[in-house]
């Protein structure tokens, strides 16, 4: 694509979770196709500040696709039109001159809006705190060869651990289910020797916390995996269900 673009933006604005929000329309000219989507929002906010208006609040941090902070629902899809890409790695060349782009926050009861496009994803942290860890004294790091792990198990654990906790799976799901996220956090430990100590109670505790946070149930639609920027597999959900059933038979959790 050659030359800069002119775009129309419909951006969700909301002061906080207690107030009603709505879309506001903005016009941007001279948008470079080489800009990232967040850089385009930086330009919008500079324009708003120069006009004496309040800038749009949005989450961001590393801008390298690894921190999971950016969370925008763009034209009806979490993170925008491309597969396997976070908002910060989405570039404006994916859009056309004259396009209207609709930008919203994640929509889920468990992710209340803090302001504009920023949502509170502390629910994920509480789910992980419930059981997504190993409580052992590790001391110094052991030599890698002292814990032999089958290549397939190591690869599957690594793929699950690629989850960045952005919440796109919840936003994409018609039930606002967090099963893909929770299953990835369970799988990355269940597949490795280090995760065996609390394996019998981990799934039970994390699923209980997931339900307590108000996430919906999984109906195997598959939108979560399809929209996940790290393309986490739904095989992890099947593994989590097996871990959960096993935990119910052997758990001593209170």
For residues 123 and 111, give the distance between their C-alpha atoms in angstroms, rounded to a whole number: 7
> In terms of CATH architecture, what is 121-250?
Orthogonal Bundle (1.10)
The CATH superfamily label for domain 5-115 reads Beta-grasp domain (3.10.20.30)
The separation between CA 201 and the C-alpha centre of its own chain, rounded to angstroms, equals 25
Decide: 173 and 107 in contact? Cβ < 8 Å: no
φ, ψ dihedrals at 126, nearest 5°: -70, -35
Residue pair 25/13 in contact by the 8 Å Cβ criterion: no
Spatial contact of 71 and 59, defined as CB atoms under 8 Å apart: yes
Tokens representing 9? Answer: 């933006």
Cβ-in-10-Å burial (0-12, 13-18, 19+) of 55 comes to: middle
Token reading at 198: 């609390």
Domain boundaries, the chain: 5-115, 121-250
- Contacts of 238-242 with C-beta under 8 Å, sequence gap 24+, read 239/183, 239/186, 239/187, 239/190, 240/179, 240/182, 240/183, 240/186, 240/187, 240/203, 240/207
Could you say which DSSP state residue 222 is in? Answer: -
Interior/surface letters 174-211, b for 16+ CB within 10 angstroms, e for the rest: ebbbbbbbbbbbbbbbbbbeebeebbbbbbbbbbebbe
Tokens of 58: 């949005």
Whole-model pTM: value is 0.92
Tell me the pLDDT of the chain (254 aa) as tens digits: 568 999 999 999 999 989 999 999 999 999 999 999 999 999 999 999 999 999 999 999 999 999 999 999 999 999 999 999 999 999 999 999 999 999 999 999 999 999 999 999 999 999 999 999 988 776 777 777 788 899 999 999 999 999 999 999 999 999 999 999 999 999 999 999 989 888 889 999 999 999 999 999 999 999 999 999 999 999 999 999 999 998 888 765 44
């Amino acid at each position: 694509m050659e030359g800069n673009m002119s775009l129309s933006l419909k951006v969700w604005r909301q002061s906080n979770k207690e107030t009603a929000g709505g879309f506001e329309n903005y016009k941007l000219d001279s948008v470079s196709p080489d800009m990232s989507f967040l850089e385009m929002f930086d330009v919008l906010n500079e324009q708003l500040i120069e006009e004496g208006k309040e800038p749009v609040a949005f989450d961001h941090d590393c801008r390298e696709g690894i921190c999971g902070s950016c969370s925008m629902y763009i034209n009806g899809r979490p993170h925008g039109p491309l597969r396997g890409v976070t908002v910060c790695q989405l570039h404006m060349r994916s859009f056309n001159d004259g396009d209207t782009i609709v930008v919203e926050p994640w929509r889920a009861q468990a992710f209340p809006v803090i302001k504009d496009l920023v949502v509170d994803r502390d629910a994920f942290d509480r789910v992980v705190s419930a059981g997504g860890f190993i409580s052992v004294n590790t001391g110094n790091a052991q030599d890698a060869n002292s814990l032999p792990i089958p290549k397939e198990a190591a690869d599957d654990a690594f793929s699950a651990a690629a989850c960045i906790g952005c919440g796109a799976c919840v936003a994409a799901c018609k039930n606002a289910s967090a099963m893909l996220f929770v299953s990835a956090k369970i799988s990355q430990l269940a597949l490795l020797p280090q995760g065996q100590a609390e394996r019998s109670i981990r799934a039970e505790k994390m699923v209980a916390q997931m339900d307590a946070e108000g996430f919906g149930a999984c109906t195997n639609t598959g939108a979560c995996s399809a929209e996940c920027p790290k393309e986490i597999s739904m095989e992890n959900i099947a593994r989590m269900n097996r871990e959960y059933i096993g935990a119910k038979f052997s758990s001593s959790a209170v």
